[in-house]
Amino acid sequence: MVPTKAKIQVNANQAVGDTIHPYLFGHFVEDIRDHMDAMLAYPLKDMDFESTDETYKGLSGCWRPYTNGKSTIYALEPAAARHSGHSQLIRIYSDDEGYAGISQAVAVKQDADGYDLALYARASIEIKFVLAEIVDKMSGEMLGSTRIDLTGHNWKHYETRLTVQRNCEHAEFRLYVPSEHERWLDHVSTGMLWVDHISLLPSDSAGNVRKEVMDMTRDLNAGMMRLAGNYISAYHWRQGVGPVYERPCVVNEAWGGWTNKYFGTDEFIQFCRELNVEPLICVNDGSGTPAEAAEWVEYCNGDADSPMGSLRAANGHIEPYGVKYWEIGNEVWGAWQVGHCDAAQFSERYIQFAQSMKAADPGIKLLACGDVRMDWNKTVIERAAEHIDYLTLHLYHGYPRFGMNEHTPKEERYKAMVSYPEWTRESIHRLREMFRSDKRYSHLKVAITEYNTMYNPNTIRKGLPREHTLEAAVANAANLNEFIRNSDLVEIGSFSDLVNGWLGGCIRVGDFYADQFRGKLTGWSGKPLTVYGTPTYYVMKLYANRDLGCVVKSHTECGTFKVNSLIPAAPQLDRLPNLDVVACINARGNKLTIFMVNRSLEAASTEVRLNGFADSGTAKLYEITADDYEAINSVQHPDSVACITYKLQFMNSQVTCQLKASSVYVMEITR
């Protein structure tokens, strides 16, 4: 097929926008489904025996019996003092002359320095030690073992290192009393081992986060990291600080299961500091109170002699964190939120929270929950504009808004998906007009604190995870172009999500596929240690690592397409340009960056005219593409879609390049 022709003219001397904010390409962490399990480095689950014994009587959650004794008894008993969850009792009978303990399936990697093995336990005095082992379940090969001497009858924390000889994706962790132990006659108070906590943490983890996730996130150059999501409307921050043993096990009211107690405020801040990004924290305005939110601000920003600052110092963090950006309310307009209310009620609530939080630290910036429905936004800013720095939007784009479903021809669905920036443009334009309507609103900026593509409802997804596709990357890249074009108003963006969580997570971890949340068992791929990026991961990485100053004027001549919506659509969907283009120049004026997204299903032979920026030289062209717009990355093929770099020689201020169908490009020229 002969490529279509296109022309892009860039006028690098004509700036048309404000400085592009470094927080525009931010990301988002949420305690949703498997996000934390996938993100954190702990291979064991149910580490505090918090679950019930639905599978095996007397055994918590994921734990299984490990014994050859016919009389071994398991029971869940009260946890140690000030601890949460249960303690796990293993009762051994001398007559069995066997071993007894607990086990759990794990995936481990080679660790010559040794996993940090933490254990909180007590035992009857005849039990002098326990063994911890990791074995290959398939071959029985011993991959690592250690002995833990129990030095008393009372509860005690034990810590040691457990080296692992090689990677093993089908391993088993065992903790048990071996058969070679002192025998006893008294069956009333002897032969008992209680375990209150067991955890493994690889030596290369950073702040409890997987090294692979940390490295990939660092490469994203996020600028800002948001802690928020549906769970936050029932989240009480004090439950996630202090000694982890003493943090309560709390039900995640938004998503089910347990709230992850191993990634609280201090861990989040450490995560941000490791990445050199600005933290953004969303407070609980659902079941929480203004006083609680103000205390959270003081915990993060107060001096060590303030009430909450002293608590932070007692937890090992003397210096204030200096968290500047705080969001009040996450999708409060949604009935799925704890504390759901109408705009008038939220406005009054917001003012109370804002006043309390500003009293704790007058220097913070506050984000108010906005919506794509402008009547909500109008009410909120009319009543509370003086207390707001940013109004938030959540922009999720999918073909159901066009009246389409899985039976609609896929090319029609494709066109609908890549119309994403038109919908974003419509929402931003309406907010811009609203802000211009009254000088009280002139200071307001926009923070798009969640955005992504959406396909089918979360609870019925089957088959391939569609959000992983090149199609989604094309839609998300075009949407980022719209953010850049509106950089005078839009300063903050948070892609949803960072790791797994739901099908939008741009970093994927092994068998923590979110599509397994319904109907598939963990372990089906056999590659639980594989960590990889989706096509959109490479888009986010590509955009965020460019040297950008401000937008410059550009003009594109190309073919067009139309979205055949079955229901009335908000923006105009006729004659949409095949190429979505925005050009930027850096602060020094010596680097031109042109973002080009080919939304068409046809390739385009494209002439880029530089209008005197550079007469000749070498252009660098970054390309994200594949043979099929439904191509995905997976544990089996983690690099099917990635970013490739080319060099193009040019003369007479004109660069010619071939833009493949449904692909993302960035051209850089330095003079």
Of the candidates 251, 198, 269, 153, which has an alpha carbon nearest to the alpha carbon of residue 44? 198
Whole-number pLDDT of residue 458: 42
Residue pointed to by tokens 């293993």: 90
Angstrom distance (rounded) from CA 235 to CA 240 = 9
Compute how many other C-beta atoms are within 10 angstroms of the C-beta atom of residue 189: 10
Whole-number pLDDT of residue 523: 47
* Residue 261 pLDDT grade (very low, low, confident, very high; cuts 50, 70, 90): very high
Residue 470 in contact with residue 418, Cβ under 8 Å? Answer: no
- Tens digits of residue pLDDT in 26-65: 999 999 988 998 999 999 999 999 999 989 999 999 999 9
- Average pLDDT on 325-354 reads 96
Whole-number pLDDT of residue 183: 79
- Tens digits of residue pLDDT in 411-421: 999 999 999 99
Whole-number pLDDT of residue 461: 41
Reply yes or no on domain 64-201 having CATH 1.10.760.10: no
Angstrom distance (rounded) from CA 424 to CA 417 = 12
Instruction: Give how far Cα 671 sits from Cα of 13, 466, 617, 623, Å.
Output: 14, 41, 8, 21
Strand pairing report for 445-454 and 490-495: parallel
Whole-number pLDDT of residue 103: 98
Q: Is the pLDDT of residue 522 over 60?
A: no
- Average pLDDT on 311-339 reads 96
Share of the chain above pLDDT 70, in %: 95
Rounded to the nearest integer, the mean pLDDT of the chain is 93
Residue pointed to by tokens 């410059």: 552
Whole-number pLDDT of residue 457: 47
Instruction: Give how far Cα 375 sits from Cα of 74, 372, 386, 414, Å.
Output: 58, 9, 18, 31
**Run of H or E including 243:** none
In words, the CATH class of domain 23-42+207-503 is: alpha beta
**Of 20-24, 317-321, 357-361, 500-504, where does mean pLDDT reach its minimum?**
500-504
**Run of H or E including 646:** strand 643-650
- Average pLDDT on 94-106 reads 93
Residue 170 in contact with residue 136, Cβ under 8 Å? Answer: yes
Between 331 and 459, name the one with better pLDDT: 331
Q: Is the pLDDT of residue 584 over 70?
A: yes
Compute how many other C-beta atoms are within 10 angstroms of the C-beta atom of residue 523: 15
- DSSP 8-state class, residue 31: -
Angle formed by the axes of helices 290-301 and 343-360, to 10°? 40
Of the candidates 418, 505, 424, 494, which has an alpha carbon nearest to the alpha carbon of residue 467? 505
**Of 11-20, 144-153, 589-598, 602-611, where does mean pLDDT reach its minimum?**
11-20
Pick the CATH number of 4-16+549-670 from 3.40.630.30, 2.40.10.120, 3.40.50.720, 2.60.40.1180: 2.60.40.1180
- Average pLDDT on 238-250 reads 94
Task: Give phi and psi for 629, each to the nearest 5.
Answer: -70, -10
- DSSP 8-state class, residue 79: P
Angstrom distance (rounded) from CA 160 to CA 164 = 13
- In this prediction the pTM is 0.95
- Average pLDDT on 338-364 reads 97
Task: Tell me the domain boundaries of the chain.
Answer: 4-16+549-670, 23-42+207-503, 64-201
Between 51 and 634, name the one with better pLDDT: 51
Angstrom distance (rounded) from CA 435 to CA 486 = 14
Instruction: Give how far Cα 61 sits from Cα of 40, 79, 117, 173, Å.
Output: 19, 15, 20, 15
* Residue 513 pLDDT grade (very low, low, confident, very high; cuts 50, 70, 90): low
Whole-number pLDDT of residue 468: 82
Residue pointed to by tokens 């892009």: 8
- Tens digits of residue pLDDT in 355-369: 999 999 999 999 999
* Residue 521 pLDDT grade (very low, low, confident, very high; cuts 50, 70, 90): low
* Residue 17 pLDDT grade (very low, low, confident, very high; cuts 50, 70, 90): confident
- Tens digits of residue pLDDT in 107-134: 999 999 999 999 999 999 889 999 999 9
